[in-house]
Amino acid sequence: MRPSSDTAPRPGSRATGGTGGTGPAGRRPAAVRPRGRRARARVGSVLKHVGLIAFGFVMLYPLLWMLASSFKPNALIFREPGLIPTDIDLSNYTDGWNALLHPFSHYLINSALVVLGSLLGNLLSCSLAAYAFARLEFRGKRLWFAIMLMSIMLPIHVVIVPQYVLFSQLEWINTFLPLIVPKLLATDAFFIFLMVQFFRGIPRELDEAATLDGCNHLRIYLQIMLPLSMPALATTAIFTFIWTWNDFFSQLIFLTRPEMYTVPIALRTFVDSTGESSWGSLFAMSIVSLIPVFIAFLFGQKYLVKGIATTGIK
């Protein structure tokens, strides 16, 4: 998106004068010198794009620099603020991959398992609950709904200590169960809310027709709601993926044995064990850890943006 070539007056832009004959009086001498004004608007638009691009570049610079530095020897990381590596060196990646007790693939697999379980749990349990809130009538519905909404805002710290006690009595510490089972029980209420919103938008005539044809609620849920709710399910999946992949606090608490470490915990251990001495391989593994999120971002942007815009949580 280069603004350079032709920045024609944009439709709907209020800055460019002379569009339509709408502004009779009050508008300043726009009508007098339309040509000069249009030129100025164009210069303004180019300047704005230059500014926005420069700002975006500054915003992303740390990320780009981390990527570039992951290919540089350590000595250069401390000297080179530039982006172009003089010679590409993959040793940071091979060193970092094997720097900890287990190869990094081990932690990637662990993270993937937790993510997979969480995905399954959230998609299933939250859509079930959402169906009840969107389509069923039952006693105390409003109250339960309000409780569900409030649970979205509950800080995890208020429940973490008893949860830890509970899970350690079940001997679930150092398994993935404390991270996955709560998702199977619809504790990520944000997604219930998201799906309730979506279900409400599906015409009721569809389920009424299905009811006339003898469908019960389970079949309406399975054969009408779920197939029609792919965008909401996709949004849920992608947020669950990113949040679980990035999650640190609960994984730090429930996973203490190195063979159970997920990627964030492994990275943290890496920082502690090497200190400041090997930024190169630390960066390399950080990049590796960000790649799945980045891919999810690239392919799921539409759903991410829609998800945030309609329900407002990042």
Partner 1 sequence: MSVIQELSRGKQAGAARKKGDGRWALLFLAPWFVGLALITAGPMGASLWLSFTDYDLLSAPEWVGLENYTRMFDDPRFLTSLGVTFTYVFVSVPLQLAAALGLALLLDKGMRGLALYRSVYYLPSLLGGSVAIAILWRQIFGADGLVNQVLALVGIQGQGWVSHPDYALGTLMALNVWTFGAPMVIFLAGLRQIPQMYYEAASIDGASRWRQFRSITVPLLTPIIFFNLVLQLIEAFQSFTRAFVVSGGNGGPSDSTLLYTLYLYLKGFGSLDMGYASAMAWFLLLIIGGMTVVNFLASKYWVFYDD
- 265 to 294, contacts with partner 1 by CB under 8 A? 267-268, 271-272, 276, 279, 282-283, 286-287, 289-290, 293-294
Question: Considering beta carbons, is residue 35 or 79 the nearer one to partner 1?
Answer: 79
Residue 266 phi, psi (nearest 5): -60, -45
- Report 177-196 residues binding partner 1 (CB under 8 A): 181-182, 184-187, 190, 192-193
Say how many C-beta atoms besides its own lie within 10 A of residue 83's C-beta: 11
* Alpha-helical regions (H) of 2-140: 34-69, 74-77, 91-97, 104-121, 127-135
- Exposure letters 207-242 (e unless 16+ CB within 10 A, then b): beebeeeebeeeebbeebbbeebeebbbbbbbbbbb
Size of the site for partner 1 (CB under 8 A): 114
Tracing tokens 């309609």 back to the chain, one arrives at 310
Among 139, 171, 212, 257, binds partner 1 (CB under 8 A): 139
Q: Smallest gap, in angstroms, from Cβ of residue 255 to partner 1?
A: 12
Which one among 264, 278, 281, 303 touches partner 1, defined by CB under 8 A? 264
* Between 22 and 203, CB nearer to partner 1: 22
Percent helix, strand and coil across the chain, each to the nearest 5: 70, 0, 30
Which one of 31-39, 79-87, 93-101, 111-119 is the stretch in contact with partner 1 (CB under 8 A)? 79-87
And the tokens for 130? 């959402």
Instruction: Determine, following the binding rule CB under 8 A, whether residue 97 of this chain makes contact with partner 1.
Output: no
Rounded to a whole number of angstroms, the minimum distance from the CB of residue 189 to partner 1 is: 8
Region from 85-93, 111-119, 210-218, 229-237 binding partner 1, contact rule CB under 8 A: 210-218
283, containing H or E segment:
helix 279-311
User: Which of the residues 19 through 78 are near partner 1 (CB under 8 A)?
Assistant: 22-23, 25-27, 48-49, 52, 55-56, 59-60, 62-63, 65-66, 77-78
Q: Which is nearer to partner 1, 259 or 297 (CB)?
A: 297
Look at the block and give the residue holding tokens 């809130």: 133
- Chosen residue from 113, 128, 224, 226 binding partner 1 by CB under 8 A: 128
> At closest approach, how far in Å is the CB of 294 from partner 1?
8
Of residues 147-176, those binding partner 1 (CB under 8 A): 147-166, 168
For residues 254 and 174, is the Cβ–Cβ distance under 8 A? yes
For partner 1, the binding residue among 137, 171, 205, 213 (CB under 8 A) is: 137
- Cβ count within 10 A of residue 76: 17
Centre a 10 Å sphere on the Cβ of residue 91 and count the other Cβ atoms it contains.
12
